[in-house]
Amino acid sequence: MAGLYTQNSSCVKINLKKFFGASPMLVQTSAAVIPFLGSEIQASYKASRVVILPIPYEATTTYRKGTENGPDALLEASIQLEYYDDELEREICKDARIYTHGAIADTRGGQQISAQTMLTDTRDTVSGLIDDGKFVIAIGGEHSITTGLVDAYRQKSHEPFTVVQIDAHGDLRHEYEGSIYNHACVMRRIVDMGLPTLPVAIRSLCQEEADLIKQKSIPVIWARHIAQNPHWIEEAIATIPTERVFITIDLDGIDPASMPGVGTPEPGGLHWYALLTFLRRLFETHQVIGCDVMELAPVVDSVVSQFTAAKLVYKLIGYQTLAQRW
């Protein structure tokens, strides 16, 4: 039963009711959540520029479970963040106009949702947000969700884009445990869409994936290489073939010392400032069209993972908000 998360965690000392605030505009199938940074910061949907989209979906995780509890844990932890960003030298949330959408594709409480339904809900919801001009940061939930997100951008985008994947794993299997929508196959689905990818911090894969990387000449930035080469960030940026990028972050790309709350932790991952430097360079050099932060599976009696994930989302908001001025 390792990894099951409860709202009764001794570390969460907030009155949850207080943070639901005024009823946000929700689509019919979505469930109310705590707004990112709390209801005082929540913009109206109409006025918002950044939309946080919680997707508490879990069906195929194989080792530790609990990713369906990731979005709530991240949003609860976000209440504890300082508004001021010392790197960006401002209270980013005052400029960013953040709205937190209701949860979609919610499998909590034993709700069965097929992969196809989850992907369709995700694609349709994100398509609507793109139409409304919102910058979307989806929070999961298992990594298979990313296929639905990328599909929405693919349908809406008139220009090509690269999917930058931060992850410990290749996620390039054709199928796993009988499903092509398993979280271990998400990047294969994206490669099959014909989109260029840049996998970063990879350190765990099978022979089939290693063969595919060679066959398709996928420009993997191995975690091993990152540890040994101080110039890896510029090398990685230089391999991106398009002006536009979508960033998918599987939190297990981060070193498990600072991110233990993932389904499949792997040693040797990215360190916090290396990750931030890379992300900032991406926002400086490319047009980031959307992001996701996936696979948070909170650990009992530790808030490190969800707080780090919440801070990471706030850094993404900060870099995106300032991107036009760089």
Q: Which residues bind Mn ion (CB under 5 A)?
A: 167-169, 250, 252
Q: Which two tokens stand for residue 315?
A: 């850094």
CB of 251 to Mn ion, least distance (A): 8
**C-beta nearest to Mn ion: residue:** 169
CB of 169 to Mn ion, least distance (A): 4
- Nearest to Mn ion of 81, 249 (CB atom): 249
Which residues partner with 53 through β-bridges? 138
CB of 167 to Mn ion, least distance (A): 4
Work out the end-to-end distance of the chain between its first and last CA atoms, rounded to an integer number of angstroms: 47
Rounded CA-CA distance 117/161 in Å is 25
Q: Is position 151 annotated in a ligand binding site?
A: no
- Nearest to Mn ion of 97, 183 (CB atom): 183
- Nearest to Mn ion of 101, 169 (CB atom): 169
CB of 318 to Mn ion, least distance (A): 25
Q: Is position 250 annotated in a ligand binding site?
A: yes
User: How many Cβ atoms sit within 10 Å of the Cβ of residue 278?
Assistant: 22
Residues 6 or more apart from 17 whose CB is under 8 A from it? none
Q: Is position 143 annotated in a ligand binding site?
A: yes
Contact 55, 129 (CB under 8 A): no
- Nearest to Mn ion of 76, 250 (CB atom): 250
CB of 9 to Mn ion, least distance (A): 24
Contact 190, 170 (CB under 8 A): no
Residues 6 or more apart from 248 whose CB is under 8 A from it? 143, 146, 149, 150, 163, 164, 165, 166, 167, 186, 291, 292, 294
Rounded CA-CA distance 179/140 in Å is 19
- Nearest to Mn ion of 121, 250 (CB atom): 250
CB of 252 to Mn ion, least distance (A): 4
- Nearest to Mn ion of 151, 167 (CB atom): 167
Q: Is position 211 annotated in a ligand binding site?
A: no
Q: Is position 121 annotated in a ligand binding site?
A: no
Cα separations in angstroms, 134 against 112, 128, 183: 29, 9, 26
Rounded CA-CA distance 124/104 in Å is 11
Annotated binding site for Mn(2+): 143, 167, 169, 171, 250, 252
